[in-house]
Every structure is written in C-alpha cells, then in structure tokens.
C-alpha cells in the first residue's frame, strides 16, 4: 500500500442541501484524511477547463452549467491507496448503479447531480490537485 493524494469535490447539489459534513464524514470514516479544503464558486471558464476531457460529450454543457450553479468544496484527500479508495467510497457515476453504502447511492440526485468528484488515476490526481491548490496549501 502506498500513501496517495487525490482531488475531491463536493458538488453543488450537496452544498445546496447543506450535507457537506455528511459527505466528509463518509470520507473520513473510510480512512481518507482531508489535507486541504476550500469552498469556492467555479466560473464557467474554470469549469470548462476542469472538465475539458469531456468537451465532446453530449452532457458537457449541462455539466458545466450544473457545476457553476452553486458553491463547491474542493479538497485534497490523503491515505493508503487514496485514489481507488475514494472512487470506491463515492460509488458509480450513475447513482442507480452505485453500490449500497456509497456516497452516491445515499446522496446523489441523478447521474449529473451526483454529489462528489474524485480523480480517476495518479496522473489526473496530480493534475487536478494542482488545478486548485498550491503545495503550501496542502498540510498533511
């Protein structure tokens, strides 16, 4: 096992319902440690840049609109195998397919408004962390 860091976002559907604490509790209970955190409002330009990999997908415009519809909480999570562990705790993209006990099964409203983001691999984790945080903002 190796200690990793991953980028997490608590999405606007969750900030709107005031359940950021419930989401963070799931992450911490699973063994992930919040080593950086900030509540922000994404601009359209920043959301388009963050989700650039999806720009040809049919849901891209709606996704950018959703992600800018309210505040988000961006976090760096640290722990043993943090990248895969976070994906496991999050559950499948579509809450209808998410396993029992996962954040998306419990809290997501739809395949779009699915409460959380987590990096999907080591390269995206390091890119996504530096998209939001400088190294002196991450305190392990």
The catalytic residue positions are 117
Residues from 79 through 98 that contact ligand IDP (CB under 6 A) = 93
> 32-71 mask for ligand IDP (x: CB under 6 A)?
----------------------x----x---x--------
> 87-126 mask for Mg ion (x: CB under 5 A)?
---------------------------------x------
Report if residue 109 touches ligand IDP, rule: CB under 6 A: no
CB proximity list for 82: less than 8 A, separation 6 or greater: 3, 4, 5, 6, 32
Interface size with ligand IDP, residues (CB under 6 A) = 9
DSSP letters spanning 127-138:
HHHHHH--GGG-
Nearer to ligand IDP, 121 or 137 (CB): 121
DSSP letters spanning 68-128:
TSS-EEEEEEEEETHHHHHHHHH--SSGGGPPTTSHHHHH--SSSS-SEEE--SHHHHHHH
Distance CA 21, CA 39 (A): 13
Question: What is the closest distance, in whole angstroms, from the C-beta atom of residue 21 to Mg ion in the complex?
Answer: 24
């Amino acid at each position: 096992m190796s200690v990793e860091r991953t980028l997490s976002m608590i999405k606007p559907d969750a900030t709107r319902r005031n359940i950021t604490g419930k989401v963070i509790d799931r992450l911490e209970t699973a063994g992930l440690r919040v080593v950086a955190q900030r509540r922000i409002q994404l601009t359209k330009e920043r959301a388009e840049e963050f989700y650039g990999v999806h720009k040809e997908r049919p849901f891209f415009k709606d996704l950018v609109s959703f992600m800018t519809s309210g505040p988000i909480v961006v976090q760096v999570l640290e722990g043993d195998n943090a990248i895969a562990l976070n994906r496991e705790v999050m559950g499948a993209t579509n809450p209808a397919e998410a396993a029992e006990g996962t954040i998306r099964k419990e809290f997501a409203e739809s395949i779009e408004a699915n409460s959380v983001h987590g990096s999907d691999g080591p390269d995206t984790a390091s890119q996504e962390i530096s998209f939001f945080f400088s190294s002196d903002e991450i305190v392990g």
